[in-house]
Chain A
């Protein structure tokens, strides 16, 4: 069955599996780290900005600038630029491990901005009411900002995760493999179109799963 759909499965099937695993690993690990960091920075942006509940313009401006700078560097360049930093932190600049740090750098600033605007969508009256109830900034962050924006946070997480899947296709440049690398080798160089299509379908499945989980959460959390 698989042989008729993908004639080259027999020769290169295990490569397809290992590259899919590499992509999944990169998305899962880099995604988790970027989720936590991006959420933290996004919330920091919201609370430290002018009129924020913990207004700290110095921190806001600094974060704002760093995010803008990192976001303006094309990912492929970031990937190469960060090899030394990767080596310092995780011991290697190559392979799946070496790709994690650049993927985190490539995803976090974008995600932080998305979180910032997701929270900014909230009715400012909610914060006002919470302050009037005598709630502390920490309580407001967790019980109002984050909790009340679960649907929009989920939406931006979907977008960011799908973006991250796209970024992993560059990771072949540092020898991390993955479905992007697979597509270049087998689709571009060897012209094995059945394998190229197989890679595309796997990516479609990954994206659909991300969409599907997100949609369930959005549906459940929208009252």
Chain B
């Protein structure tokens, strides 16, 4: 559906070049929810804005639904944009128009009759759960409600693609979750391809099928969310994953030599990661019994990603060197990733 090839974007500010995007290539399939994650300034917004040419790539190609956007005239670009909806962190609703008015505003150039437009706008507002608030002005709506209106507005021209620029960053966790749920529903009901950018791994975990990680304008890693979570490769991806599981905190504690992670002789701290429910429940029991390794759990987290669970455990193990090595080998055999976080 969307094919981004060798896209570069360079901003020139006071004769200095800022390489906001460097040779990015991505393919986003029809119907999927594709996440783009990165820290502030990574170039996420620039990338998503390139998809509807709000930002024109310095070089490279953007194909949407088989059409090369960079080759289009100004009018052609406007037509292409109508086939893509966009929602924003700060909603960007027209303050002088009601919820209904905002959706109708996006419909004003459509070929429908007045009655059809009105019906469509009402239906869309109902779809996003705002049937009872259609005559409210944005200033009287909560953040979550505003984003719902924005979603209805973005869907009004039956887009094939919905671009979401930090759509939930300004919302509290509960509202954010409800908006994500709505986006998921929308993608299934209307078969819209969704591209969403975020700096939160939780958002990715919640609804994305695939994810791309960008840093400093470069694509660092890309793949199925489950794979990225269970086998992160680049440093930045590992950071995002460990922040999301809460394990980042343990690394901090190790760095500070906190008492909770202080080790005695023959003791080591292990991080176990296992994916997809493969692990036998008795793993810990087994290593204690078979290898005579005393084990205690320091931290545990299970992330559910699309009906799969990814577990993270931090355990401290105490035993003879040889036994510890055997225990680790055994766990690896069982499909558990084992990382020695700290040893004496």
Which of A132, A147, A148, A150 meets B86, CB within 8 Å? A132
Given contacts A125-B88, A223-B137, contact A133 B95 (CB under 8 A): no
In the assembled complex, A131 has its CB within 8 A of some CB on chain B: yes
Any B CB within 8 A of the CB of A135: yes
- B-chain residues with CB within 8 Å of residue A128 when the two chains form the complex: 54, 88, 92
Give the contacting residue for A129; candidates B84, B88, B137; CB below 8 A: B88
Q: What are the residues of chain A within 8 A of B90 when measuring CB–CB?
A: 123, 125
Residue from B77, B81, B96, B139 in contact with A133 in the complex, judged by beta carbons closer than 8 Å: B81
Q: Which among A134, A144, A150 is the interface contact of B81 at CB below 8 angstroms?
A: A134
- Find out whether the CB atom of B54 lies under 8 angstroms from the CB atom of A223: no
Q: Considering residues A125, A136, A223, which has the most beta carbons from chain B within 10 angstroms of its beta carbon?
A: A223
Note all chain B residues with C-beta closer than 8 A to A143: 105
Q: Known A129-B86, A143-B105, A223-B137; judge A136-B92 contact (CB<8 A).
A: no
Question: Would you call B343 an interface residue if the criterion is a C-beta within 8 Å of the partner chain's C-beta atoms?
Answer: no
**In whole angstroms, how far apart are the Cα atoms of A135 and B154 in the complex?**
13
Given contacts A128-B54, A143-B105, are A134 and B78 in contact (CB under 8 A)? yes
The range of chain A's interface size is 10 to 19
A136 touches B78 (CB 8 A): yes
- A18 contacts partner chain B, Cβ-Cβ < 8 Å: no
B82 at the interface (CB under 8 A from A): yes
A221 to B139: give the CA distance in the assembly, Å: 13
In the complex the two chains form, what is the Cα distance from A133 to B106 in whole Å? Answer: 7
Q: Chain A's interface: helix, strand, loop or mixed, by majority?
A: helix
Chain B residues near A221: list those with CB within 8 A.
96
* A128, A129, A150, A223: most-surrounded residue (chain B CB, <10 A): A129
Cβ of B312 within 8 Å of any chain A Cβ, yes or no, is no
Q: Does B237 contact A (CB under 8 A)?
A: no
Q: Cβ of A136: which chain B residues have Cβ within 8 Å of it? A: 78
B118-175 at interface with A (beta carbon < 8 Å): 137-139, 153, 157, 163
> Which among A123, A125, A132, A150 has the greatest number of chain B C-beta atoms within 10 A?
A132
B105 vs chain A, min Cβ distance (A): 7
Partner of B94, one of A131, A132, A134, A144: A144
Q: Shortest distance in angstroms between A28's beta carbon and chain B's nearest beta carbon?
A: 28
Return B164 CB to nearest CB of chain A, in Å: 12
Contact partner of A223 among B88, B91, B139, B157, CB < 8 A? B139
In the assembled complex, the CB of A51 is this many whole angstroms from the nearest CB of chain B, namely 11
Choose from B52, B77, B82, B96 the contact partner of A150 (Cβ within 8 Å): B96
Selected from B81, B91, B93, B139, the residue in CB contact (under 8 A) with A132 is: B81
With A and B bound together, what is the CA distance between A148 and B97 in angstroms?
9
Residues B78 and A135 in contact, CB atoms below 8 Å apart? yes
Contact call B105/A126, Cβ cutoff below 8 A: no
Chain A residues with Cβ under 8 A from B85's Cβ? 132
State whether B96 touches A223 (Cβ < 8 A).
Answer: yes
Picked from A132, A135, A148, A223, the residue with its CB within 8 Å of the CB of B52 is A132
Q: List 20 A-B contacts (CB under 8 A).
A: A123-B90, A125-B88, A126-B92, A126-B94, A128-B54, A129-B86, A129-B88, A129-B92, A131-B54, A131-B81, A132-B84, A132-B85, A132-B86, A132-B163, A133-B153, A134-B79, A134-B82, A147-B94, A223-B96, A223-B139
Residues in chain B within 8 A of chain A (CB atoms): 52, 54, 77-82, 84-86, 88, 90-96, 105-106, 109, 137-139, 153, 157, 163
Residues of A within 8 A of B (CB): 123, 125-126, 128-129, 131-136, 143-144, 147-148, 150, 221, 223
Besides the contacts A134-B82, A223-B96, what 5 more A-B pairs have beta carbons closer than 8 Å?
A125-B92, A134-B77, A134-B79, A134-B80, A223-B138
